[in-house]
Structure 1
Amino acid sequence: MRRSVAIAGVALADCGRVDTATPYTLHAQAARRALADAGLDRSVVDGLASAGLGTLAPIEVAEYLGLRPRWVDSTAVGGATWEVMTAHAVDAIAAGRANAVLLVYGSTARADIRAGRRTSDLSYGTRGPLQFEAPYGHTLIAKYAMAARRHMHAYGTTLEQLAAVAVQARANAAHNPEAMFRDPVTVEDVLSGPMIADPFTKLHCCIRSDGGCAVLLAAEEYGPDLAKPPVWILGTGEYASHTTMSEWEDFTVSPAAVSGRLAFERAGLTPADMDFAQVYDAFTYMTLVTLEDLGFCAKGEGGPYVEQGTLPVNTDGGGLSACHPGMRGLFLLVEAARQLRAEAPGRQVPDARLGVVSGTGGWFCSSGTVVLGRER
């Protein structure tokens, strides 16, 4: 049994500065809005995917939402989680193990830190393999910074080219009323900011926000009942690389090189067919190297490519300007669906018919890529 699968509904919960909500209420808010966006009742949902909340994430969230799913997924691979979950859910729906799967996320990361309810997660603890790096002060940001420095050394990538990523993200956010930061920035603003981890100054790094979102995936037979045009999932790919930096074979190659190739092959399409890309951008270097590895330009040419800015990328402003409550990959799918449904006024890509979403987890530890289209 093989059925086509579509994004039936998408929605954001309240995002940005949300001081009064809990992660559970953001989950519920996003879920209600996504179902309303699809024009479907929650009774159709027989699958749930959730991560990042509680010890029994999908079960606790399902109970809070009043759902009793027959299929669940709690895969947690960092920022690539939601693209990987999408691949799993598509396979489950296509095989008949579920009919409608809700992917839902909510986090009050910003509010929790400001209120002293938790500390920053930049060190990611000292258990397991990480115990061999933590004593040297090797934070998450430092790992990305080291990879960026290697790309700069190998290919001549410049700080100005990396800064162009942040400038473009902010320019996109200026047209997104839901973005947290919308004031324009310049390359000089990025370069002159406070240093966080060489070569990353503050504006090279993602913002910290609260927020949530949800995506409802449904089998093809729901198509005629949907309130909005379905967005079809044409191909998916996933790949796991490393966790210890010494086990990463090449700092200039991200796991999107594999997940992207698989997704495009399964869709029967190429990067040249894409009208836009939504990629995880916790740091400016992530955008540059992911676009390289997805095949939009050759290896080493990411610097000039992002400087030219010809491809619409992270049209909502991304994690650098719009929102970043953690594990932001689900927000990429929301924005991609809105673009393909022509629901992004002010930032709409003209006649967008095909797009790619690629999430990255950890410190280039994992990747999930999804190719989407307006037609099957």
Structure 2
Amino acid sequence: MVKGYIAGAYEHPTRMATDKSVPQLHAEVARGALEDAGLTMADVDGYFCAKVPGLGPISMAEYLGINARHVDSTDTGGSSYILHVSHALEAIAAGKCSVALITLAGRPRAEGAEMVGPNFQGPEFAFEAAYRPMVPNLYGLAAARHMHDYGTTGEQLAWIKVAASHHAQHNEHALMRNVVTVEDVMNSPVISDPLRRLDSCVITDGGGALVVVSPEVMRSLNRPRIAVKGMGEAVKHVNGGHFDMTWSGARKSGGDAFAEAGVTPADIKYASIYDSFTITVLIALEDLGFCEKGQGGRFVSDGNLISGVGKLPFNTDGGGLCSNHPANRGGMTKVIEAVRQLRGEAHPAVQVPNCDLALAHGTGGWIATRHGSATLILERE
């Protein structure tokens, strides 16, 4: 039984918002998604957001003029917005709301944000802050360990960036539209051994929004029916030192999503995979079951992720590696591109033929320590 549908999706076209505030960006993406669904702000009775100004959903509900009877500001980093789709459907099933709006917005590029370490305000502060971990270091550790354990190479990781760049060339809004080669990636500067500059995502402003509705509301709309068939979420942490940084929470969130949907990885026509770094993609693909653990390097090589070339097209908008990573949180755009693919609205050069089943997966936090994973299986009815 389908709990609900994604009726509206909108990605802000800007990648540099020098003339807009963060609340303004939230308002613009909200309006775009609601217009896409054929609804208005007056129809919204559920609101979902994370890491927003002021008093979170309270301040934003007032700013947007929403009279919500259900709000949720669960924050699992970049995976929050994929998780919000799951939570919205749970709220709809419980009768708490019928039209849920999910928004993301930020201005790290305009504000001159630098790549910094985790915000140490949690219980791990006393144990880890002395080592001054930076975000690239934490992903570099996972990449180095994966290489040590499984023989993964930098050239194999580079193929993930190459695939993203092949797709980004067709996206007029992508920040980086130049097609790159494996050699280009390997010749870019090392930022945290073994990861290089081109193994990393872009930093952009902007945002996006989704509208999740009940089956009853969906029947009243003249829009494509994108059903959420399966959902999963998980938190992985260092477990007191008993952990392996070569696998992620995708092992649990993906397993639950596939089980609920009643499908397997082999059934998926298109995959949106969180791509803060190339290693994030490789580990997620293994843990989601697209290949065996340790075989991710072989799986992504030789263009296997390129639409029209490989057997698993991924991130056909260019993803966070080339197009957009708004507010340093990429989960929202993963769902938006999956919706485009299922509707047949992706760029013709990257549109997957007969795309009726897609996956969207997010990784929020730091893959080598603690993070939240969220997975959705979406189907065009």
| TM-score normalised by structure 1 residue count | 0.95
Task: Give the whole-Å Cα distance in 1 for the aligned partners of 2:225 and 2:14.
Answer: 25
CA-to-partner distance for each residue in 1:50-78, whole Å, 9 max, x for gaps? Answer: 11112421111111111011011000011
Instruction: Specify the alignment match of 2:116 in structure 1.
Output: 122
Shift of 1:273: 0.6
Give the letter aligned to residue 299 of structure 1: K
Match of 2:247 in 1: 253
Q: Does 1:339 align with 2:341?
A: yes
1:296 aligns with 2:294: no
- Name 2:167's counterpart in structure 1: 172
Kept in 2, the 8 Å contact 1:10–1:38? The answer is yes
**Letter of the structure 2 residue corresponding to residue 25 of structure 1:** Q
Structure 1 stretch 36-45 or stretch 123-132: which is displaced more? 123-132
Give the letter aligned to residue 336 of structure 1: A
**Structure 2 match to 1:23:** 22
User: CA distance change for structure 1 residues 185 and 131 in 2, over 3 Å: closer, same or farther?
Assistant: farther
1:107-146 paired onto structure 2 within 5 Å = 107-113=106-112, 119-120=113-114, 122-127=116-121, 128-146=123-141
Partner of 1:350: 353
Q: What is the identity, as a one-letter code, of the residue corresponding to 2:186?
A: L
Q: Does 1:361 align with 2:355?
A: no
The residue type paired with residue 17 of structure 2 is: V
- Maintained 8 Å contact 1:15/1:323: no
Q: Percent identity at matched positions?
A: 43
Q: Distance in 1 between matches of 2:34 and 2:222?
A: 10
| CA shift digits 1:308-335 (9 cap, x unpaired) | 4121011111100011122210111111
Distance in structure 1 (CA, Å) of the matches to 2:240 and 2:21: 38
- Single out whichever of 80-89 and 270-279 deviates more from structure 2: 80-89
Partner residue of 1:116?
none
Q: 1:367 to 1:44 in 2, by over 3 A?
A: same
Write out aligned runs for 1:50-69 (5 A): 50-69=49-68
In structure 1, distance between residues paired with 2:350 and 2:98:
33
How far is the alpha carbon of 1:168 from its aligned partner?
A: 0.7
What is the Cα deviation at residue 3 of structure 1?
6.0
SS in 2 for 1:17: coil
Deviation at 1:245, TM superposition (A): 8.4
Give matches, 1:155-170, under 5 Å: 155-170=150-165
The secondary structure found in structure 1 opposite 2:109 is helix
The answer as to whether partners of 1:39 and 1:225 remain within 8 angstroms in 2 is no
- Tell me which moved more, 2-11 or 230-239: 2-11
> What secondary structure is seen at the aligned counterpart in 2 of 1:109?
coil
> Any idea what SS the aligned residue of 2:111 has?
helix
* Whole-angstrom distance in 2 between the partners of 1:3 and 1:358: 19
CA contact (8 A) 1:208 1:323 kept: yes
In structure 1, the residue corresponding to 2:102 is in which secondary structure?
strand
Letter in 1 for 2:336: V
Give the unaligned 5+ runs of structure 1. 114-118
AA aligned to 2:173 is E
Instruction: Judge conservation of contact 1:104–1:214 (CA < 8 Å) in 2.
Output: yes
Q: Deviations over 1:38-58 (max 9, x none)?
A: 111222110000111124211
Which of 362, 377, 380 aligns to 1:371? It is 377
Contact 2:2–2:228, Cα closer than 8 Å, also in 1 = no
Aligned counterparts, 1:193-208, within 5 A? 193-208=188-203
Q: Distance in 2 between matches of 1:314 and 1:174?
A: 12
Return 227-236 or 150-159, whichever deviates more: 227-236
Corresponding residue number in structure 2 for 1:231: 226
Deviation, structure 1 residue 125: 3.2
- Work out which of the residue numbers 158, 183, 187 in structure 2 matches 1:188: 183
Separation in structure 1 between the aligned mates of residue 258 and residue 380 of structure 2, nearest angstrom: 16
| Helix, strand or coil at the partner of 2:227 | strand
What secondary structure, in the 3-state scheme, does the structure 2 residue paired with 1:240 have? strand
Unaligned residue ranges in structure 2 (runs of 5+):
305-309
3-state DSSP of counterpart to 2:89? helix
Do the aligned residues in 1 keep the contact of 2:22 with 2:107 (CA within 8 Å)?
yes
Aligned partners of 2:133, 2:218: CA distance in 1, in Å?
48
Q: Say which is worse superposed, 9-18 or 360-369, in terms of deviation.
A: 9-18
Q: In 1, Cα distance between the equivalents of 2:265 and 2:242?
A: 25
Aligned-pair RMSD on alpha carbons?
A: 1.5
CA distance in structure 2 between the aligned counterparts of 1:69 and 1:100, rounded to whole angstroms? 10
Question: What one-letter code is carried by the residue in structure 1 that aligns with 2:22?
Answer: P
- Pairwise mapping of residues 259-270 of structure 1 onto structure 2 (< 5 A)? 259-270=253-264
Question: Could you say what secondary structure the match of 1:43 adopts?
Answer: helix
Deviation string 1:295-318 (CA, Å, 9 cap, x unpaired) is 000111000101141210111111
Structure 2 length normalisation: TM-score? 0.93
C-alpha distance 340-149 of structure 1, shift in aligned 2 (>3 A): same
Give a deviation string over 1:324-357, Cα, whole Å, max 9, x none: 1222101111111010000012321111000111
Cα deviation, 1:208-247, whole Å, max 9, x if unaligned, reads 01011000000111223324202100010000111x5864
In 1, the alpha carbon distance for the partners of 2:332 and 2:150 equals: 32
Is residue 204 of structure 2 the alignment partner of residue 209 of structure 1?
A: yes
Partner-residue secondary structure (3-state), 2:213: strand
The verdict on how the C-alpha distance between 1:273 and 1:122 changes in structure 2, with shifts beyond 3 A counting, is same
- Which residue, out of 328, 331, 334, partners 1:329? 331
